[in-house]
A and B are shown apart, each in its own frame.
Chain A
Amino acid sequence: MDTKSRSSRQAKAKAASQGLYQRAMKESVLKLDPRVQIRNPVMFLVWIGTIVTALLTINPSLFGPPPDQNPLLFNGLVTLILLFTLLFANFAEAVAEGRGKAQADSLRATQSDSLARKLAQDGTIQEISSTALRKGDVIKVIAGDVIPVDGEVTQGVASVDESAITGESAPVLKQPGTDIASSVTGGTRILSDELTIRVTSDPGKGFIDRMIALVEGAERSKTPNEIALTVLLAVLTQVFLIVIATLSPIANYVNSPVSITVLVSLLVALIPTTIGGLLSAIGIAGMDRVAQFNVIATSGRAVEACGDINTLVLDKTGTITLGNRLAEAFIPVNGYSVKDIAQVALDSSIFDETPEGKSIVSLAERLGVVVTIDRSASDGIDFSARTRMSGTDLPDGTHVRKGAVDAVKGFVRSRGGSIPAELDAEYEHISGLGGTPLAVCQNNDIYGIIYLKDIIKPGIKERFDQLRRMGIRTIMLTGDNRITASVIAREAGVDDFIAEATPEDKIEVIRAEQAKGKLVAMTGDGTNDAPALAQANVGVAMNSGTQAAKEAANMVDLDSDPTKLIDIVTIGKQLLITRGALTTFSIANDIAKYFAIIPAIFAGAGIGKLNVMGLASTQSAVLSALIYNALIIPALIPLALKGVKFRPLTANQLLGRNILIYGLGGVIAPFIAIKALDIIVAAVGLA
């Protein structure tokens, strides 16, 4: 993703977020609905507590004579603080949801009911509403039209503006049968020429529809980690509920009767309200961060799985090296001249539309070689992963081929040709340089080798170093020979590589890693990547890829940048770390709250020495602890939404660091804050 498109997207996001906080404030009040609150066990208890203290504010003697002084003011203040605790937690969730909704609104703007030109079987064009289109229909779009639905190009070549979904202003060329450039997305605009498209999704089930549902949270279900954390929080809440419910008889026994308001306050202070209030916001914000990276995840589960990834399976081309390998030199063998091999290389590449093929044509032309064959009477042979060769069949029956050296050797041998001795030496020399050698032959005669230069992406070695420190193993897959692959692997710093890989190897390597108990992530774009994308725990498909790849994957990268897999893993880790850090902080806070409230309640029982903070009175201790409890939620909203700063450390190092910062910080911070609040509460005369 280039800087310009990213900054334009950030500007759009900023514009969309205007009014976000006002909407979130309104939402936080609406979320006080008990049907919403019951979904969050911790906050539901706070909600019930607020109702109870509100009733006690109306009638302080509701449950018997109140032991507190000035119960009306005290109960009213507690009710107010509890209400704000609820509102702050709702606000955190509403802000996180609001950011997703703003994104959904901008996506929805790309959708409009328009007229589509449906092609009937007899070839006539019928104008119908785009909502009446069904999977399998064939439509025609011309320059200026918005493509109404997702589909596969079956005819025509045209440039399409995909900026509505990718933010990338450069148009993309769409043409049929190219595996990667043949799929189009509804909501994008055709800029030139015309296309015939076969519809691949029914109305409401297109790519943008799924994206909208996802960012709006319509399909949000709890992730496994969230479920585990919900159980932990419910267990803690249950324990504290039982403790508080049985505290009253003990308090009466030691002659320190406790009011219901104080018991409710103690319960709310002790249950993990901080993480309970921020838990859903952290999850939603994690999804949002992935979406801001222009990646659409099919579920929160997929984002979270990224944080647990142990192995990354990466394609060499486009991920580790720059996508365009360029022809650097022609190296003749068998006594041929450079011009001879350049001529055969040119003949074999005239139908080759890949960047490599075009660079071969360009290099040959720079050497003064011109196309001599009749293009219209010749047949182009496309490259395939199985043959690992491409070329041209000339009208006189001559076959010219270029491709992997062993594949070309096999081709020549099958036609009774011999392999020149110097071929292997040149092959090893180029491979040793980290280049890709392509052998060139005409029928059973090898002419030499084309040296394709691979350029490793800048900064990729440092990224792999980071991943290694995080305990993630990287495996590079390449169709290159073993020597080239090993040189690139060494230079890029990947942990392992698979050379001369076929599409089947991808799925094999994923299965092998999974059999060792590892979680695997991979990227892919072609139809032949679909099984591996489905097999991987995290499969990221490129938006430029085929429909099959996008449907098999659990994430789609709108920028079609395979390197982004590394960023997604980082976001997944950040999500898990943030949740862990705030849980640690929330639970560590309890120590200070114990020391604030318990000694104050049982001062009459002779445990006043435990009042280490020297809090003024029972009521001021309760109010200070509750105010801290409420204020810490909005204070941590930015951290919950932004995520804890990610550092490439091992799990043990991260645990140690987070326990130090959020554990120790969670113990010390409330002592200071509660004492400060107590001084203010006492000075103002609230208690």
Chain B
Amino acid sequence: METVLRRFWQKRVPRSLLLVLLSAVTIAPTVQAATGISLDRGQVFALVLLGMTTLSLSIYLFVVIVQPERF
């Protein structure tokens, strides 16, 4: 079990996905509180994920601007 967890943690993509999902879970209640009852829980969670995707894309573009030779 420990080995599986360690190997999982060493892989960048699943680790990032897990962190994004956990962050979404953390942020979602705040967003829901701001939007009121117009959005259900699933929609809020999707919206938070979309926001985090946009933020990740923005970070990715900054990396491209700073280190263009990597792409």
Residues on A lying within 8 angstroms of B by beta carbon are: 38-41, 44-45, 48, 52, 61-65, 221-222, 227-228, 230-231, 234-235, 237-238, 241-242, 245, 260
Top 7 A-B pairs ranked by shortest CB distance?
A: A234-B64, A238-B61, A230-B68, A41-B64, A227-B68, A234-B65, A231-B68
A64, B61: Cβ atoms closer than 8 Å: no
Residues of A within 8 A of B61 (CB): 41, 234, 237-238, 241
Contact residues, B28-62 vs A (CB, 8 A): 38-39, 43, 46-47, 50, 53-54, 57-58, 60-62
B43, A260: Cβ atoms closer than 8 Å: no
Given A64-B47, A245-B58, 4 extra CB contacts under 8 A = A38-B71, A41-B60, A41-B61, A231-B65
- Report 9 cross-chain contacts, Cβ distance below 8 Å, ordered by A residue: A38-B60, A44-B60, A45-B57, A61-B43, A64-B47, A222-B68, A230-B68, A238-B65, A241-B58
Residues on B lying within 8 angstroms of A by beta carbon are: 38-39, 43, 46-47, 50, 53-54, 57-58, 60-62, 64-65, 68-69, 71
Residues of B within 8 A of A221 (CB): 69
B43, A62: Cβ atoms closer than 8 Å: yes
Residues of A within 8 A of B43 (CB): 61-64
Give CA–CA (A231, B39) in the complex, Å. Answer: 39
Q: How far is the CB of A299 from chain B (nearest CB, A)?
A: 14
Give CA–CA (A293, B58) in the complex, Å. Answer: 42
B69, A238: Cβ atoms closer than 8 Å: no
Q: How far is the CB of B46 from chain A (nearest CB, A)?
A: 5
A227, B69: Cβ atoms closer than 8 Å: yes
Given contacts A241-B57, A242-B58, contact A260 B68 (CB under 8 A): no
Q: How far is the CB of A243 from chain B (nearest CB, A)?
A: 12
B50, A222: Cβ atoms closer than 8 Å: no
B58, A40: Cβ atoms closer than 8 Å: no
Give CA–CA (A62, B71) in the complex, Å. Answer: 32
Q: How far is the CB of B35 from chain A (nearest CB, A)?
A: 8
Residues of B within 8 A of A64 (CB): 38-39, 43, 47
A231, B54: Cβ atoms closer than 8 Å: no
Residues of B within 8 A of A45 (CB): 57
Pick from B54, B62, B65, B71: contact of A40, CB below 8 A.
B71
Residues of B within 8 A of A65 (CB): 38
B71, A39: Cβ atoms closer than 8 Å: yes
Residues of B within 8 A of A241 (CB): 54, 57-58, 61
A238, B58: Cβ atoms closer than 8 Å: yes
Give CA–CA (A39, B71) in the complex, Å. Answer: 5
A235, B65: Cβ atoms closer than 8 Å: yes
Give CA–CA (A52, B62) in the complex, Å. Answer: 22
Q: B71's closest neighbor in chain A, by CB? A: A39
